Amino acid sequence: MRSCVAVVQILCVDEATASVDQETDTALQSTLRQAFAGRTVLTIAHRIATVIDTSDRVMVMEVGGRLAEFAPPSELLSNSSSLLSALVCGGSVGVTR
């Protein structure tokens, strides 16, 4: 990971853990939190656990790439009508708002 060698203020991580097991995902997320503390990390992920536990804010996109939600994960999860809450609970997720 070149960004660990260079001092960067913004890191974009695109599906960094998509092809690893959960244990490796957890270890990588821990390393990112420590190595980039105090910096901006933009994480693109389909694994919800990857972003819920490590993010200050979560951006949920609708089909077509439109922004649906942008808030702290705890705020979105406490709202039963949020898309993130529906994804976590395994409920039906609408694609239009």
pLDDT of residue 97: 40
What predicted TM-score, i.e. pTM, was given to this entire model? 0.69
Tens-place pLDDT, residues 30-65: 888 888 888 888 888 777 877 787 788 999 988 898
Alpha helices for 1-97 (secondary structure H):
22-35, 48-52, 73-78, 83-89
Helix, strand or coil, per DSSP, at residue 55 = coil
**28/14 Cα distance (integer angstroms):** 13
**13/10 Cα distance (integer angstroms):** 10
pLDDT at 96 over 50: no
Q: Are the C-beta atoms of residues 85 and 53 closer than 8 Å to each other? A: no
